[in-house]
Every structure is written in structure tokens, then in C-alpha cells.
Structure 1
């Protein structure tokens, strides 16, 4: 990957910013005019930030600085689809967050991996391309967010997309983001789709088309068997632009204000603290955890919290860090009667080497497996207007995601409640940017959430015991037949439920007193500052979040350029 812009703050500019920061540190908000200045400063080179960097620098005139706390995306496993398993607990590219003890999960803490690398979480995620339901966006619009209905956002999904199947009413071709069909035939994944049909769930060839409901195969953000992160698909083609400057290992510490106008970003790169000014706007794209954390560290957040940590209040914004939502997953593991699972390949040295050789030669085979091969969307109650459960099917099994695969042949299917009612929060624990924030997701806090998970497990069990899967099933390994009543299933959810890695809504868009940004993603009460990432979602979409976040950034780019004109 090109690195020609990675030295922007060396020598002369570094000396300037270091001298200037001696002043800023003792007098927050007092800015020297000799700091490097750009039209736009983007904080976070993740799923949204890379999109913004590409689109805002495309005219060749607007100067753009992109700051990323993590390194370049040079880790080999980033580019191999199955490599997400290797990156699950890789500290060099992962923030490795943990929740506080979760009351609804028997007091367990829940691991929260988030990308800390060019591409952000799009460089370490499960690669599934799922937009959610049409109704998700219409609901955003109905809540007062004009311009965010399905008809409004569909053009941006299409603009981003380079759909392998070609353009259509619902899909685009020629965009930066490759969207591909799976490259590895797997009899278990195919049998799951047939088994779902045997239980009354229709087959759906396109979860992102006219309707989401049904069973079928997931498409992925890959190109010819390689991961297509936003660093790959959006940033790499723009890296040679002279007006785009990319700084890695550059962690934003706070935003600096003049009154209530955002003027500059203070960031740490190695042992040096530096500052960059923004002529037009500062764009926070650090994700559902880091964006509200940065705002709070900068004096924009709940006044009582900021004062507790000795942070001067720029704006009392009680909604910053509120309304945290995440999808939870609860997994069922089956013992397989045939040695055709990924367990059998990984645990056999010869088969493992052959799989690696096949991938190296053809970019095909089991190393192209995403975090869901086939799946389904269905309703736990016929009175519901749209599906409330998503199933991810995987031809491997493990006690805990990111850990060693089972020694026996096994496969997994997980229940994910699509629209949880439970809400949590993100709060800083210290004025020190290096201290991880307090994350409370509050899983299973409502009766509706508890019921949906239990009913989802019951329906999934019917699928896994349908005729099409019978030839492949020895028995249910986890939770097993000992767990059968609703009470036992709920207890299992509390003991084994975990994240499916979709935190959102901590800088929520809206018009109410707790909304953080308006419909154009401008921070309410502040000038020159927007938030552009999954944290602005008014509520969770019904599916995986990467594709919607890329859409948000595409739409935001147009709004930013319109407002600049």
C-alpha cells in the first residue's frame, strides 16, 4: 500500500506542533495559528472514515487529513477472509474492549472487539454484506429524521456497491465496494437452507433485495477471495492524491474549540502530542465507542460526568454516550456425523496445508469462509410486520468465538435478535484518553428481548433437526437436550449470550433533547463538527452494520460537500 503521505508531521511541522501544544496543554482551547491546517480533519479511518477521505478529497482541491489510532493494514490475516478468527484478540489491530458486568448475563463481562487499524472494524469483521430492512430506514424518517427513509438511502447503497451479480433495482455496479457471492461450496450450509424451507421459511436469493425474510446465502465484502475493507476499497485508490494526508498510529485525544466552534484536533503520535486545525469541519468517525468517548473528553457530553473528571464543559449534551445498542447472539452447536467441517481441516495438518495452498493458488476454499455462510431471517411471532431474528450458520464450532475449534466435527448456528429494546451507555472513566471507557450494553433488560431470544432458539432447533440436516447430525452438543423449557433456555441465554459486534446509537440522530446530531449529522449546539459513523443510528438496523455505516458515510459526504458550497 502507498505510504507517501504518512510523514506529514515530521521535522519542521512536528516542531511547530510540539511547541504549540506546550501552550494548549496548559490552556485548553487556546490555539496557535501555526498548526498545520486542512479543510477537513477526519478522526478515524474505519468503515466511515475511509469513505469520507475518498469522497472529500476527490476534487483534488479540498485538503483532507485522516487520523487513525492504529497501524497500516499490513497484517496478512486482515486480507484473508477467514483471518477474522486470527484477529479476534490481536492487540495490534484491535481495541480489545470489555463491557462492565452485565446484569442480564449473570454478571458476566462481554468482550467487544473493535478495529484499531486502517479500515477499522471493516478490516477485522466477519465480512457479511447485509443492509437491514427497508422499514428500518422508514422508521428513522418517521422519528423526524428527514432524508433518511429507505427511498432516500437506497441510492447511496447502490453508489457504494460493485455488485458481482450486476446492477438492478436494488443494486449498483461500478462502485468502490466489492460485494460478492461465496467462493466455497459447503454441503452443510446448503443443507441448512433446505432445512429452513422444510420448516416453512422460504428460500431468499437476496437478503438485500425486495424483502429480507427467508433463508439463503450471505454475500460478502470480498473481491476474488480477498477481504475488501474500506481501507482497500475506498482509501487505497485515493492514497496518491496530494491533497489527502493519512496519519497512522495517531490517536485523537480531544477536539479544541473557540467558543462553540470546533477548530482543531489534538492527537498523540508516538510520544509526541500534535495538533491539526480544520478550516471547514472536523468529522468524528471513530465508532460507537470511541466517538462519544472523544466528545466527552473534549467537553461535549453530560456536564456532571465531565465535571467529575475535571473536564471543562464546552456543551452540556446529556445524550452523548446514551442509547447504546448492540445485537446479542446465542449459539447452538451440533456434532457432525461426517468429517466435512472446518474443525476437521484445522485439526488435521495435511488438510490444513492443502487448504492454505488452495487459497494461495486460487483464492478459493475454506479460507474464504466469512462469519456466516448461509443464514435466515424470520419472525418469532406471525403478528410481527417483519423478521425479528437473524440466523448465522457456520460450518465449524468452538466453545467461544476466537478460540480453538472443537476436536470433533461440528457446526454452529446462532440466534440474533434484530431489534432489541434494551439500551445501555458509554461513559469515560477518566480524563486520560488512554483509559478505556465504561461500556454498559444492558443485554436482555426487557421482557420482549428475553422472549424473542427464547422463541428464536426454539425455531432454530426445529431447523437444525429438520430432515435435510439429519444425515449430518449426531446430536446437539450445546446446550443439549437437558435444556428444554423456556426458563432453561432463558438461563442458557444469560450464561452463553454474547455480542455479535454491532454497537450503535451513542451519538444518536434526532430532534429530541437527547439527540446528539441533526439530520445532516452536525453536532447540535456546536459549529464545524459532525459525527459520521454507526453511532448516529437512531436505532439498530435489522442486520449486520458494516454496509449501513458505509451508506451513512456516502450520504454524509454529499451533505458535507453541499453545505460547503
Structure 2
């Protein structure tokens, strides 16, 4: 059995960072096991191409949840990256750190070292931001962050003006001095190409002689000597292999795959494991539980003059933007679907923003089989204003269905299952309509398409957002961090309670969700977690 100092399961947003940081000194050998394949794909690297990845089984796990009563019985589609770079290779690239109070809350709950003051230096060290360095921003780091304010569609400026007319301040940087307000999103791209964790971290690491990356390698279980994790069993090309870790095993599979692998390996809720014939190595009721996710919805409108729909839908428009992208690495294909957005409070008494906004200068009401129709939008001039909740109180779980590692786990989100979340969402969708009713937008809007002007009562609005809402792809907390082994999965140094030589380093360790997109915090977790591993190894 071959031995490496560190074995990392998963090459996603956190795993790629961990691999780069642990291998940088050249002192340690590192093996990365990735269940997916290469990220060298055109529609992965082209920013707006991720609509082509939305259902593509070659790069996407394509999970589906249980029918969810809170979403009118719908079984939600959960795309997750099955590829080098993980979900950072198929996401919308919006670079948001979260609210400082989120991290101070983590620290206040016993997670020493995770306050905003603690994590800000890590965020700054990661970044190479085109906006320049300041008290909040970093330059010279491995991951490039692009300021797109000069390139967004002109309709974006109408949205920003309308949101200000509705009472929100203009905010040039949601990761700066404050989070409230509206503005243009910065995104993780460089020179018109996606800046995934694989591109920023894993690819440079793969050039080192002490790093080995195995793709199409599905980890099936963790190997133990008593209560010490010693190795990983994995399947690759129909063959079963085992590999040993001389120092530590690091699970970076994300909020679905990390609890799945722990449970398959005998770490998890004892009664559930026993019911599936799995011997319990260490009982922990929290593995797979405490699932939090942001839930979102779009309000879609028909405009009085062309939007991006009229450029992206016809063949000549596709040819035009295609040539612009291929020759100049610029234009709509070099951006995220979310040109702008913002953060607001549904109640002024809220201590910090509890809702996030998204603006898209195109619409995709008409479905297209097999993909998210970003590159083939509606034939009429449409646009959308979307939102998602930042701190939902609903909780779900992720549990394996059997001892078969290839069987997808059971995902039960329990979305919008508390009166708090429903009330908050009701207030939020009303605010979207308030933005649309402001002069800057009202003069452009011909009609509201979804949900439509007939939906006005609270009852109808609630019924509508139950039918049309869904994940915005930010699941966390299924292996949550905490100082109390009876109430968490990993300690503040990300070591699995009750097991030696095993850590979880990814977004599943978040004690609670952050206000915003979770990719930047997941990458920060990889950066900070790797530093902890090196400190504890020295």
C-alpha cells in the first residue's frame, strides 16, 4: 500500500487550496483523490458557459432532493461540481466573503480563531483584486478577483438607480467597510476566464513532484487502526485501491460528500448506520444534520427595449459575442449571469442584512431540455431581479441510503419550514416589486411575467414562492464546527471529534451560514485549515 504524508479527498474549493498549501514547502507528499475528471473544458473555463454545466453529468453530480413540502412538494435540483475545482468550476463566480458579524458569531459560539479579525488576513492573502489593495482588499494573492463595473449591461445601471430610489445606498464593494446596499458584483475571473480553485491553487501545485492527483477516483471509505484514520479506499476505472496517510487524512468533499463518506466509514448517527449494516467506529448524531441552505427566487419582467436576450438568442448575436470572447476575452460571455445585486434588511430592526439581491439583464422563463438556457434566453426582452435569504432558520439533513458509496445520499432540505423564513421571504419579494416600481425601472418595464400582476395577496405570494423557489447552491453545516463534541462534528482546528488523524476542511464545517455566496468562504476555509494542519504537524 502506497503511503503519502497527506491524503486529501476532494479537489474542490477547499481541497484544491489545501493541496497547494500543504505541498508548497516540498517537505510533504500529497495525494488528491477526485471523483470527477479534468477541468480543461471550454464551457467550464468560459464564465457564462456554466449554463452548459448545470445538468452535465460529466462535470456535475446532479443531485436531487427529496420532495420538499416547503417548496410545494418539488424535488429540487442540486448541482455540485464533479470535476477538478469542484463547484468552483461550475458556479456563478460571485465573490462574496459574508458579513463580519457572521464570523464573529462563529467565534462567540466557541470557535476560537474564526472571528472576522482572524479570517480577514486570510481573505486578503488569497486575493489578487483588480480594485486594488486597501484595508479590506488584497493584491498579489493566487486568486484573481475582477471588478466588472465598466463592463456590465447598461440595464444594470437602471437597476442600481431604482434600488437607490427604493432606499438602498450604492455600495461599491460588498466585501469592504459595509455590506448593506446595491452595487456591481466582483467575480472570480482572470483575463476573461473562470478563476476556479483548480486554476488558482491546484494546477500550480500539480507541477510539483511531491503532489499526485488522481481523477475519476471515488473514495469509498476511510480506513482505521482503532480510532485513528490511516488510509482511504477508492475505486478507479473499475479497480479498488487503498492508500495510506502517514500524517493525516483530510476530507474536502463538500457539504454533501463529506458527511456521506464519514457515514459510509462508520462515523455518524449510530442507529442509522446500524440500520444499514455499517459498523459504527464513532457515533456522532450531528454528521449529516444541521443542514443550512440559502433559498432564492426570481421575479422576471418584460422590457420595452432590447436586453441581453436579443443579443444572446439569435445566431448572429451568438456569433458576435462568441468572436468578441474568442478574440478579446471580453463581452457578455466573460461575465457572470449576475451583473449586480445587493444586501438589504426586511426589517430595520435586523442587526445586519438578511436578504441578498441578484440582477440579471436577461431572462430564461422558457426552459430548454438538458441545460440551463443562459446562452439561449427568451425571445422577448426580459430581465430578472432575484433574491435569497441570508440566515434561514430551516434545517435539513443528508443521510446515506445504503452502504453503497455510489448510491446518492438522501437530501432533505426542509426549505421554508419555519414561520420566520416564510415571513421573511414574503417581505423580501414585496421589496423586489418596490424596486421594480421605482421610476428608473418602471419606465422600462412593459409587464411583470413571473409571478405576474394577478399574484397580489400574501397567500398567493407565499404559494408562488413555495412553487418557484429553490436552492441557490449554498449548503453548509453538515459537519459543523464547535468546541463541544456533543454538539458538533469537528473542533475549531477542524479535527473530527473522537478520531485521530482526520480532519474535514470545506464548507460543511461552517457552524452557520454566511450572508452571501459561499465559494469565497469555502476557499478561505481551505487556506486557514491548511495553515492549522501545518502548525499541528511542525
TM-score band w.r.t. shorter chain: over 0.9
Partner residue, 2:210: 243
Structure 1, unmatched stretches of 5+, are 1-34
Q: Quick check: 1:266 aligned with 2:233?
A: yes
Partner residue, 2:512: 539
Which of 284, 287, 291 is the matching residue for 1:320?
Answer: 287
Residues of 2 paired with 1:294 and 1:307: CA distance?
Answer: 16
Q: Quick check: 1:130 aligned with 2:96?
A: yes
Matches within 5 A, 1:150-299: 150-182=116-148, 184-299=151-266
Contact 1:263 1:528 in 2 (8 A): yes
Q: Name the SS for the 1:180 alignment partner.
A: strand
- After the TM superposition, which of the residue ranges 505-514 and 402-411 deviates more from structure 2? 402-411
Query: Shift in Å at residue 470 of structure 1?
Result: 2.6
Cα-to-partner distance string for 1:423-476 (whole Å, 9 max, x where unaligned): 000000010000000001110111110011110011111111211123321110
Q: Name the SS for the 1:469 alignment partner.
A: helix
Cα-to-partner distance string for 1:388-413 (whole Å, 9 max, x where unaligned): 11011111111368145222110011
Contact 2:152 2:339 in 1 (8 A): no
Contact 1:190 1:374 in 2 (8 A): no
Q: Quick check: 1:557 aligned with 2:534?
A: no
Contact 1:220 1:370 in 2 (8 A): yes
Query: Shift in Å at residue 245 of structure 1?
Result: 0.6
Which of 495, 498, 501 is the matching residue for 1:525?
Answer: 498
Cα-to-partner distance string for 1:366-409 (whole Å, 9 max, x where unaligned): 11231311111100001111111101111111136814522211
Partner residue, 1:475: 447
Q: Name the SS for the 2:248 alignment partner.
A: strand
TM-score by length of 2: 0.97
Contact 1:192 1:468 in 2 (8 A): yes
Query: Shift in Å at residue 362 of structure 1?
Result: 0.9
Partner residue, 2:75: 109
Contact 2:192 2:335 in 1 (8 A): no
Q: Name the SS for the 1:563 alignment partner.
A: helix
Query: Shift in Å at residue 185 of structure 1?
Result: 3.1
Contact 1:188 1:469 in 2 (8 A): no
Which of 448, 454, 464 is the matching residue for 2:420?
Answer: 448
Contact 1:127 1:371 in 2 (8 A): no
Query: Shift in Å at residue 346 of structure 1?
Result: 2.4
Query: Shift in Å at residue 292 of structure 1?
Result: 0.1
Partner residue, 1:345: 311
Q: Name the SS for the 2:6 alignment partner.
A: strand
Matches within 5 A, 1:92-107: 92-107=58-73
Cα-to-partner distance string for 1:533-562 (whole Å, 9 max, x where unaligned): 000000100000000001111111110000
Moved over 3 A (4+): none
Count of residue correspondences: 530
Partner residue, 2:11: 45
Residues of 2 paired with 1:412 and 1:433: CA distance?
Answer: 39
Q: Name the SS for the 1:331 alignment partner.
A: strand
Q: Name the SS for the 2:358 alignment partner.
A: strand
Query: Shift in Å at residue 235 of structure 1?
Result: 1.1
Q: Name the SS for the 1:129 alignment partner.
A: coil
Structure 2, unmatched stretches of 5+, are none
Which of 37, 41, 49 is the matching residue for 1:71?
Answer: 37
Query: Shift in Å at residue 202 of structure 1?
Result: 0.3
Residues of 2 paired with 1:387 and 1:257: CA distance?
Answer: 44
- After the TM superposition, which of the residue ranges 400-409 and 61-70 deviates more from structure 2? 400-409
Partner residue, 1:418: 390
Matches within 5 A, 1:396-415: 396-399=362-365, 402-403=372-373, 405-415=377-387
Partner residue, 1:3: none
Query: Shift in Å at residue 100 of structure 1?
Result: 0.3
Q: Name the SS for the 1:128 alignment partner.
A: coil
TM-score by length of 1: 0.93
- After the TM superposition, which of the residue ranges 399-408 and 160-169 deviates more from structure 2? 399-408
Q: Name the SS for the 2:81 alignment partner.
A: coil
Partner residue, 1:11: none
Partner residue, 1:490: 462
Residues of 2 paired with 1:402 and 1:428: CA distance?
Answer: 28
